[in-house]
Chains A and B, each alone.
Chain A
Amino acid sequence: MNLNLVIIVSVAFAIAAYLVSKVNDKAGAFMTVAGSMFALVTVFLLRNSIGSEISFLYFNFNLTVTGWYFSLVMLTAYSMTAFFNPFWMKKLIYPAGYNFLYLLSMAGTLGVFFAKDFITLFVFWETVVWSSAFIIQMGKSRQAAYVYYVISAIGSMATLFAIMFAYGTTGTFVINEAFKGLAGYPGRAIVIFITFIAAGMAKIGIFPFHVWLPSAHGSAPHTFSPVLSGGLVKMGAFVALLSVTAFPAYEIFKDMASFRGIPLPIYFMMALGAISIVAGTLMAIKQEDAKKLLAYSSVANGGYILIGLLMLDQVGFAGGMMHIVNHAVASAAAFLSIAAVAYRTGTTKMSEMGGMIHRMPVTYLVYLIAIISMAGIPPMGGFVSKWLIFQGLADKGLIFLATTAFFGSIGSFLYVFRPLSAVFLGQTFTRDLEKKEVGFFMMFPMLILTLLSLLTGVFPNIFLRVVVEIQSAFGMLPVTLAENTIVTSNGFLDAFRVFIVFGFGFAIAFVLFVIRRKSRKVELMDTFTSAEFIHTRELLHYSHSFYAPFERLYEKAPDTMKLYHKAAVKINELGNMAESAFFGIRPARTVLLVMGMVLIVIIAGGVL
């Protein structure tokens, strides 16, 4: 199958899904499952045709190993989430529109990853932006879609500027050539680098563009948040990747001032990534809504990805690439499990739930594995990628970035534990005592993602082998892999062995536990309460402002959103000014303006 056919068939699926949904929305939603699964399988099979090129209309595609890798990650998020779609049709204002845009945005992402030239890339990029904006508005907040679109627009317009500027300088749009000629124009190169990476930063949610994630991820339809966080955010990583490979930033800036071997423009971007880690972590810790919390965690994880990719070295870069997979899988799984809970309870507010583990044990396990990976704890995938990034940072001695990376890593223990404790553990609310686990159709994608998290953690080399290919394709020294082991200059990691030893420890503990006398099972309300009689389950559940003492330390932290509000107010004021100055409804003013203009011209003419 050809590259363009995958996209065309996906679009065809989108149109078909729209038409079918008009008759029966559930059937239409199943079309999204079929469409995304089709794309996933087809793209997977395209492995052998890497390097092929094809043109269609004014689009030029070619399949690189990078594009293949990214599109598989994206399609995993899309196809797994699609399994949830049929169950949420009732909630949506436009079921048909949703199904159509779901598959259209998916086709758009494929176009981005397959693009051979920047026009193709940009066209598909913007298609994804507006189609996903129209999906987000169907969720819980209109404001969210607005913020999402505007922030994306700021990024993508900057990128368009960079593309066109480079074109004006080098005369080509082809991704691998457009920026090569910039070495002779250092001034322009800096402008182009900073503007080009902007779209990627906006999409990953790097500070100061991160404000759209909590509102959009938190308010989008529950079935789209996993795609946003697991998939679409990674599109930004793709552009960030291009900004150091297609745009040979290290080569072009090699004569510039640098910090520990990293040219300052690149270091500046990495520093923004570091700020995102800290800001994302701190904000995630104090959220009260599970989806918003996970959204902020995406901000923090985006920071890791950016730092990893921009290092463009043997180890850190591999970590960044690996983290793209890990975060996509873990965050999609976490969002899906929250969606599953919301499907039963109808809320994502953590203070309105508790003890769901006793009603939905499988969903709980899915969430548990997802957060273990997200927090970077072995034996899940997140650990491997964070390990690689830490090694890369240590190699280069990037101490400030490392400090924030450690902070984000430990901080993630804090925030991922909150939904675990508030939603799943503790007392089950009276209202939820009769709730059931979700059906198999929803459980299936969650289990697949859980297994993927485990797979990336136990056999990371399966994925890293592709990363090695990507690194070789860009002419970098690839990360060294032995059979099961990742070797770096600072030491090596055998993830499989760690997993086995963990199993060994667990087995001993288990045996020890079983051979001791069986314990008596007591009711959850049967706890120590200092001799108080409490009969209300809801009162015996601690979930609101969980880390209150810690949150107090930074409650006065500035809110980035205010910056954007201020900018909007300023534009509004300018508009008021312009309106009263130029578009007032008194002709006298117009006459005055004309006289002024003529006078200026006469004076200017006199001067000349």
Chain B
Amino acid sequence: MGALNFLYAFLMLLLVFIFQTTLTGLNRKVTARLQKRYGARWYQQFLDIFKALRKDSTSHGWVFDFGVIMALGGIMATVTFIPVAGFRAFPGTDNVFVISYLLAVGMLGMAMSAAGSGNPWASIGVGRALTNMLAYDIPLMVVIFTMIFAFDSASVGQLAEMQQGMGILGWNFFRMPLGGIVAVIALLGMLGKKPFDSFIAPAEIASGPMVEYGGKHLGFMFILHEFMTFIEVSLIINLFFGGGATIWEYMLKYAILYTFTNIISGVMPRFKIDQAVKYFYRVPLAMAIIQGLVVIFTGLGVTIWF
């Protein structure tokens, strides 16, 4: 692990930021078109972030600041662990558990900062966010568990490479279709897309974790959100859609999947938070366990079976 790795990591962060923020901007347009609006320009997201970073901000004490730094730091560290089309900034760190739990550092920092603002609305939002996480993560983890059992590897990069070279049917999404569907549903939950967006409460500006943020803090939160989106979508792309043999393939798949979640989100109503929990534990969890039992006891899905 030399200086070069850190340089790669830094560059990766930069590129990921540009890529994902552009995509977010484009998707704002897609959503707008769904709603028969014209929509903002594709680079509007960049403008928003830089504007926020330039503005004055207020701070509610050191944990409010510290939480923001910890959140962004943790999330950026996680981004550098994501393997992209065979490229890894730090080889050997793409263990799926490491990624999903290091992601939690960022979330913890965010939660800490929000609760540290002293605004009860923020705390309520955090409570919802954590509940939402408990809902979507279990089915997803069960599917990932099944995959580790089937392929004897917990490395995200390796799992992606194992699906390549066999055409579209080699993707885990098709080898383990139930699990694949679960993963996509869970992705909606992870990204906070409808019907699982009640914790961010984007429509009710004043009643979510973000209520106290402004200025550079808000800017940080925007950046963090872009990175988090990248991590979450990348995980699903790598684990279920074969990653990418080339960077272009990867980006294409990524853009399609991300836009897909936005389109779904655009036409969905919203679950209350306890409804979301109920839903995830009824349908996706059952599907995930059935998928797991099928793989573990029949071996169906370890090889291509169509």
Contacts and interface: CB of A to CB of B under 8 A. Distances in A.
**Bind each other:** yes
Interface of A: 260, 355, 357-358, 361, 364, 368, 372, 375-378, 383, 386-387, 390-391, 393-395, 397, 399-400, 402-403, 406-407, 410-411, 413-414, 417, 420-421, 425-427, 489-494, 497-498, 500-502, 504-510, 512-513, 516-517, 519-522, 524-530, 540-543, 546-547, 549-550, 552-553
Contacts of A417: 108, 111, 115, 126, 130
Nearest to A404: B138
Given A426-B118, A491-B95, A509-B73, A399 B134 contact: no
Contact of B73 (A260, A505, A525, A527): A505
Contact of B77 (A400, A491, A506, A526): A506
A394 B148 contact: yes
8 contacts: A383-B101, A391-B154, A494-B93, A513-B68, A527-B117, A540-B119, A540-B120, A553-B278
A522 B131 contact: no
Contacts of B58: 519-522, 526
B30 interface: no
Contact of A519 (B56, B101, B145, B158): B56
Given A504-B9, A519-B56, A493 B98 contact: yes
A489 B137 CA distance: 24
Contacts of B1: 497, 500
B93 A498 contact: yes
Contacts of B72: 505, 509, 512-513
Interface stretch (B37-45, B59-67, B166-174, B240-248): B59-67
Contacts of B92: 492, 494, 497
A413 B65 CA distance: 21
How big is the B interface, by class? Answer: 35 or more
Given A403-B289, A519-B57, A542-B120, A395 B77 contact: no
A59 B173 CA distance: 62
B95 A395 contact: no
A516 B145 contact: no
B194 interface: no
Contacts of B182: none
Given A399-B146, A411-B134, A420 B127 contact: no
A393 B145 contact: yes
Contacts of B108: 372, 375, 377, 413, 417
Interface in B155-212: 155, 158, 206, 211-212
Interface string B43-83: 00000000001101111111101001111111111111100
Given A376-B101, A417-B126, A509-B72, A520 B60 contact: no
Given A399-B289, A498-B98, A516-B216, A528 B138 contact: no
Contacts of A386: 97
Contact of A425 (B63, B68, B293, B296): B63
Contacts of A368: 112
Given A493-B95, A505-B74, A406 B138 contact: yes
B76 to A, nearest CB: 4
Contacts of A413: 104, 107-108, 130, 133-134
Interface string B269-302: 0001110011000000100010011001000000
B153 interface: yes
A315 to B, nearest CB: 11
Given A520-B57, A522-B60, A549-B277, 8 more contacts: A375-B108, A399-B149, A410-B134, A410-B138, A420-B115, A506-B74, A509-B71, A549-B131
Interface string B93-114: 1010110011011011001100
A527 B118 contact: yes
B54 to A, nearest CB: 8
B157 to A, nearest CB: 10
Contacts of B149: 394-395, 397, 399
A513 B65 contact: yes
Nearest to A391: B154
A425 B112 contact: yes
Contacts of B118: 355, 425-427, 524-525, 527, 540-541
A502 B77 contact: yes
Contacts of A547: 127, 130-131
A377 B107 CA distance: 11
Given A426-B115, A513-B220, A541 B145 contact: no
Contacts of B19: none
A406 B93 CA distance: 21
B216 A517 contact: yes
A429 B225 CA distance: 33
A527 B123 CA distance: 13
Contacts of A375: 104, 108
Contacts of B220: 509, 512-513
A215 to B, nearest CB: 26
A260 B60 CA distance: 53
Interface in B3-32: 6, 9-10, 13
